Chain A
Amino acid sequence: MSIRQIIDWAIEDSRSQMTGTIVSPFYEYSDYGGHWVWACDVDLGENLGVLRCVPVAANNRELIYAEQGRAVTLSRLNNGKWVITGLAKSLNSTVHYIFMSFTDDTYQVLRKQLRGYIIRPLTYGELGTLVVPYGYGVLPYGAQGKFDAEGNFLEIVETY
């Protein structure tokens, strides 16, 4: 652990805004104070993963319409919790990875890779073909799937 790392963490911790993508339908849940609030799951990108039960900030007139796949901005409250505060114009997307190796005096680029994923509802066709050989009926309509940057299916996403 270096001072630089500690500073990086501090900078990361002090971030007060992020963008994410809605990856679930909206639902109601009871927060710590026992209040029923509207919330959804938000995908924060490759490294941060999916943040569950993110409430929609109250009295936000900007947020008129948001469904799955929409980019939203998240703001951090004083107590450290994140809330959805508006619609974002940018959307987290795919990441190019370039793997390099370094020796004493030289470096080289070993390979490049496209990473990233999207979460979306499974199509009718996918509902029928993903769970071989059972076909339709195993996966409920509306089940969410996670797909890599090339569009290959990765996994079913658990939803609340």
Chain B
Amino acid sequence: MRNISAALENIILGGGTRRPDYKVYAWDPAEATISEVVSANGILDDPAPVDLTPYVSDVSWSDRQLTFALVDPAGLFHPDFGELRHCLKDGAILRLLEGDETVPEVDWAITFTGQVHGQIGWKQSRSTGQITSRLTVFGRGETQAYKRRKITSQEYTVGTDIGIALYDICKTFLGLTGKEMRIPFTLGRQFKHKTNQLAQVTPWDGVCSLLKVVCYQPFFDGEGKLSYVNKSLHRPAARLFEDGDRIKELEVPECSQDTVNKVTVTFLDSQLERVDGPYQKLGQAQVTTGFFSMHETLETWWSEDRKQRADGTSMKVIKSVNSGILPVGSEHYTQLDEFHGQIEVEISVWVPILATVMIAEYLAAAFIPDDVIVLGFGASEGITIPVGRIIQAQAMIGILLIMMSIGSAQYEVWGTPYDFAYLEKKSVAVEDGLDYWLENNLDIKNDFIGTHDQADIIAMTELSWQKCLSMPRKVSVADDPRLEVGDIIGLPDGRKLVISALSKNIKRGEIPTLLIEGCKVLTA
């Protein structure tokens, strides 16, 4: 609800005679920025605005735009040569003040702040002599620059309040100062993920997605400040229309649309969770070893890129180093970390020693003189056995045995591969008893939500909000400048409406009829 001065509030609620009045001020965009106008306390007087009020008539006001006719017999606002054309050119800043003749202007309420987009209309007719000009001013929320270009924000770490990120983004990408924001600096919700960033989204979408975490919807209020509508409707009515209040008209408009009856909130869980794969072969190794190698170390990784994790690993020996004639060593496996393990092949010490000794013996035996043993009595023929060669042959057999034990060993490592993933989780609020072919789903995807608790609240709030939107109401009442979009009003029958749009036609000296478009509030 808009704060207004006590003097103006007394006039509105006092029941006395009201003499409504208004003022329209315009600033040349070359001299003042909308940020300066909005940030100023009251009306910015340096540079001083142009008072358009004497030229303005037929004012149509809504919370999004202001339309009025300009009475311009002197051609002051002609877009080409008008003396005051600069204060209505593209980007010109306009403000509407509403109050009462009996109250000083300083106590009036600022009910609209916006800018001219493009060129104003201006027409002069020779036949009728009429000079007419029609002007539409758009609220700050209609600025297309907020909704077209894509931005990438800086990173925000876990634990940062979402409000802090919001202020930062509004300052950096929307050009807003702290004075231009009515959203609390801290929203009571913190980022749950390690790093958080808006990437390649429009600034307005970014603001919306941040505020969605707390079920808020952003809008620019009459003063041009960034405010919010709280979709959670558990709050008291901003204004109760008692039986004595004059509700001029109550309309239940037709709403021939299927209602959203299911809301799915998809988010990325903030905790990395382990996901196991099936038990399988993770890696393999092979080695050729023997007496020439005392020790072999074989590393096995679970994937070529060395990024696969695994657990519960063990070695399967496909072919052992001991599969030869002699058992020559031992084989051991150790998992070093989650990414790889190590196979160690130890060759027994005696193998190289024996090989060395045998070679030495073979060499030494070559020096043994060959004693010839002749078999047979007095025979001139027979067989001779050189004794030294027998010793040499024995050494050769030893060497060959060791050489025959040289072989290739093959190993496999088996285990359970796993990886860590952020699980994509969902919270679904759905009407009870709904068949799936009747579902009319609204998808909300927001990675700033980190837990099911947050997502549950958003899903429930959004579904009840969508249900409210399906029950529109229109109420016409005597103008109350305090009312804003998002306010809840109470009707005499006890029902409540949440305001979704406001509009009125303003004339001097006449209390405007405020058309409130809203939706019926459902209570828990």
Contact = CB atoms under 8 A, between A and B. Distances in A.
B58 interface: no
Interface string B511-523: 0000000001011
Interface string A82-126: 000000111111111111111001111110100000001100000
Interface stretch (B22-30, B302-310, B344-352): B302-310
B308 A121 contact: no
A105 B277 contact: no
Contacts of A68: 277-278
Contacts of A70: 275, 277, 419
A97 to B, nearest CB: 5
Contact of B432 (A92, A95, A110): A110
B421 A91 contact: yes
Given A69-B275, A71-B275, A95 B425 contact: yes
Interface string B305-318: 10010000000000
Interface stretch (A1-9, A32-40, A49-57, A150-158): A1-9
Most interface-central of A97, A98, A110 (chain B CB within 10 A):
A98
Contacts of B424: 19, 90-93
B452 A96 contact: yes
B277 A109 contact: no
A100 B257 CA distance: 20
Given A2-B258, A4-B258, A100-B429, A67 B440 contact: no
A10 interface: no
B422 A90 contact: yes
B155 interface: no
Interface in A41-69: 64-65, 67-69
Interface string B408-424: 00000000010101111
B428 interface: yes
What secondary structure prevails in chain A residues at the interface with B?
strand
Contact of A67 (B258, B278, B426, B522): B278
Interface in B279-328: 280, 303-305, 308
A91 B276 CA distance: 12
B278 to A, nearest CB: 5
A64 B421 contact: no
A99 to B, nearest CB: 4
Contact of A107 (B258, B280, B417, B522): B522
Contacts of A112: 456
Nearest to A71: B421
B406 interface: no
B268 interface: yes
B441 A101 contact: no
B181 interface: no
Given A69-B277, A91-B423, A93-B423, A98 B459 contact: yes
B488 to A, nearest CB: 14
A112 B429 CA distance: 9
Contacts of B522: 102, 105-107
A151 to B, nearest CB: 14
Contacts of B464: 100, 102, 107
A106 B523 contact: yes
Most interface-central of A70, A92, A99, A100 (chain B CB within 10 A):
A100
B524 interface: yes
A2 B440 contact: yes
B148 interface: no
Contact of A94 (B257, B278, B425, B459): B425
Nearest to B264: A95
A106 B427 CA distance: 22
B72 to A, nearest CB: 44
Given A96-B452, A96-B455, A98-B459, 11 more contacts: A2-B440, A64-B303, A71-B421, A90-B421, A90-B422, A92-B424, A96-B456, A98-B430, A100-B429, A102-B431, A102-B522
16 contacts: A2-B257, A67-B278, A67-B417, A68-B277, A71-B275, A89-B422, A90-B424, A94-B423, A98-B456, A99-B432, A100-B432, A101-B432, A106-B522, A106-B524, A107-B464, A107-B524
Interface of B: 257-258, 268-269, 273, 275-278, 280, 303-305, 308, 417, 419, 421-432, 440-441, 452, 455-456, 459-460, 463-464, 467, 495, 520, 522-524
The 7 A-B pairs with the shortest beta carbon distances in the complex, nearest first, are: A93-B423, A2-B258, A99-B432, A95-B426, A90-B424, A96-B427, A67-B277
Interface of A: 2-5, 8, 19, 64-65, 67-71, 88-102, 105-110, 112, 120-121
